[in-house]
Structure 1
């Protein structure tokens, strides 16, 4: 059976005889599982060595483009910058294009002005014009990896992030467990409906609470910014006196807490996303019940690896949904 490495190379790497390696590669009977594992490990080691040779001395410029609240972009930027040195002997640099609120046209314009890039990590609206702008980048030879929210109709290389529908179901489970027999309604806060990931979270949440009899009220359009979110939440609470729980899909949680306090209303359960600086403080103060979080450095590492694979510098790597961590005030991880 043909193999990407010569039998002699694998034998040298594994310390086994060429005859033994040949038996493993051709799946002949009578080979011990430990011997097969040794050959598999030798091949994996050769893959790593080949990748290092491809990376040696290479320079890559990665663009990170995100419309997102600053508290999240600051956290992800720090994660990317922390991971860049891990790709030595290659030299990776990153350019950041970050803003909190804007139009589809602004996103399309930013994508259209990218020059000299080896790849893009993108958090953007799932809109036809954005998908077309992504397609133009990919056609020009620039791979695009979407992050936290997908644009599946585009020719992006991969999506990196949590299973957003599963996250919404998880949030509903937590809310239902904490509320118990209380008839409380639930407020869902989204940053903006054009982000596919947020819509998937909301759908998962609503589907899991179907049949519960709970009133679910949605507010959207704040871009996750506190100054915009507080008025939306105040209006929703004033119109719905039975709301005592929140699922924050898109952020603006400082404002949501402030709105409950201004109206002297209890918030019995508050589930949010992302362990940014605001949420870390609110969780420590007991104003959030739980935060659904994922390791941003692991996300950044995977996104960068996927781009380098598209450039032919690293072997293929599967882009699987990122595991969700349920963080409470009692398992709050130390800041890295």
Structure 2
């Protein structure tokens, strides 16, 4: 029976005799189960070490492109930079290209620059737009793998999507809002950044669908009324103005589901109007939301581990670049990020910053 490693290599790794390893590999009788397990573990360890040797000395240069409020892109950059040393023995560097607002044409122009700048992979948060699809496919044609982050562009030939299941996130928000409002006949304000990002649309669909279903379970045929604010750009000043206007027009609003951010502005708008927000659900534990959560202004934040996201995105790109091939390596597996429900009682402390 042939094997990808010599019997001597496996024996040294396992700390067993070559004769014992040979008996295990040939599945002969008279070998204890724990001895077989030691041999299998040794083979697994050799696989990992072979992959590490392939990475030793490899250098990767990735570009991170995001159209997002500055508070979120800053949090993700911190997460990426914290993870880069953990990707050793490979050396991974990232260039960051962040914009709070950007036209599709400007996004396409940014993406087009990477074909001549030595990029070996792109992590991108961009609108699901036909021109963006063409731009991403052009990168793939040039041998530059693309991972979409937070919001997907599924019609493109991107390598994979990293982030939460956005419909499930919206459904989770609906469950929290409906449960905390109870029998109160309250309306819900839904705030989104714009209608160009796929993730925001998916969150809203999940929210509305689940809210209707929960209303039907209570016997409320019409369900709760939803008032929608779009094109807020996630900016506090814009959100404050739009929320203040909505509160003046709709007396029944007592809850908020903020899909796109600008939550400090929404809190100020309720205070200006002298109105109570009984339930306020937001996304992502950035510095603003951390403060609002601990003060009680936010009821809960739906969060995901940005460092785990950064690690997965980089490893997917490294794998596409041949960094993990061979040696029995089974491949980097992409799974949706876990949705964490954070309240003021279980909010983690911010990571200590290096001096």
Give the equivalent residue in structure 2 for 1:171: 173
Q: TM-score, normalised by structure 2?
A: 0.89
Per-residue deviation at 1:236? Answer: 2.0
Deviations 1:176-199 (A, max 9, x none): 111000111111111111111111
Q: TM-score, normalised by structure 1?
A: 0.94
| SS class of match (1:121) | strand
Structure number with bigger Rg? 2
| SS class of match (1:192) | coil
Give the equivalent residue in structure 2 for 1:325: 340
Give the equivalent residue in structure 2 for 1:253: 263
Of residues 234, 239, 258, the one that matches 1:229 is 239
| SS class of match (2:205) | helix
| SS class of match (1:260) | helix
Give the equivalent residue in structure 2 for 1:18: 21
Per-residue deviation at 1:32? Answer: 5.8
Q: Distance in 1 between matches of 2:196 and 2:3?
A: 46
- Which segment is superposed worse, 306-315 or 3-12? 3-12
Q: Distance in 2 between matches of 1:6 and 1:255?
A: 65
Question: Number of residues paired by the alignment?
Answer: 333
Per-residue deviation at 1:6? Answer: 4.6
Per-residue deviation at 1:31? Answer: 6.8
Q: Distance in 1 between matches of 2:57 and 2:89?
A: 6
Sort the Cα spacing of 1:106 and 1:32 in 2 relative to 1 into closer, same or farther, 3 A. farther
Contact 1:11 1:21 in 2 (8 A): no
Give the equivalent residue in structure 1 for 2:218: none
Give the equivalent residue in structure 2 for 1:79: 79
Sort the Cα spacing of 1:2 and 1:88 in 2 relative to 1 into closer, same or farther, 3 A. same
Contact 1:23 1:31 in 2 (8 A): no
Contact 2:301 2:341 in 1 (8 A): yes
Deviations 1:110-142 (A, max 9, x none): 100112011111111111111111111011111
Sort the Cα spacing of 1:262 and 1:139 in 2 relative to 1 into closer, same or farther, 3 A. same
Sort the Cα spacing of 1:40 and 1:222 in 2 relative to 1 into closer, same or farther, 3 A. farther
Deviations 1:204-227 (A, max 9, x none): 111111142100111111221112
Of residues 199, 208, 211, the one that matches 1:209 is 211
Of residues 131, 139, 162, the one that matches 1:160 is 162
Contact 1:7 1:21 in 2 (8 A): no
Question: Does residue 335 of structure 1 match 2:337?
Answer: no
Deviations 1:79-137 (A, max 9, x none): 11111111222211110000101111111111001120111111111111111111110
RMSD across aligned positions (CA): 1.8
| SS class of match (1:210) | helix
Q: Distance in 2 between matches of 1:58 and 1:221?
A: 43
Give the equivalent residue in structure 2 for 1:301: 311
Give the equivalent residue in structure 2 for 1:54: 54
Contact 1:54 1:313 in 2 (8 A): yes
Q: Distance in 2 between matches of 1:306 and 1:271?
A: 31
* Unaligned 5+ runs, structure 1: none
| SS class of match (1:77) | helix
Contact 2:62 2:92 in 1 (8 A): yes
Pairwise mapping of residues 124-203 of structure 1 onto structure 2 (< 5 A)? 124-203=126-205
| SS class of match (2:98) | strand
Give the equivalent residue in structure 1 for 2:105: 105
- Which segment is superposed worse, 255-264 or 2-11? 2-11
* Unaligned 5+ runs, structure 2: 216-222
Question: Does residue 273 of structure 1 match 2:275?
Answer: no
Per-residue deviation at 1:268? Answer: 0.2
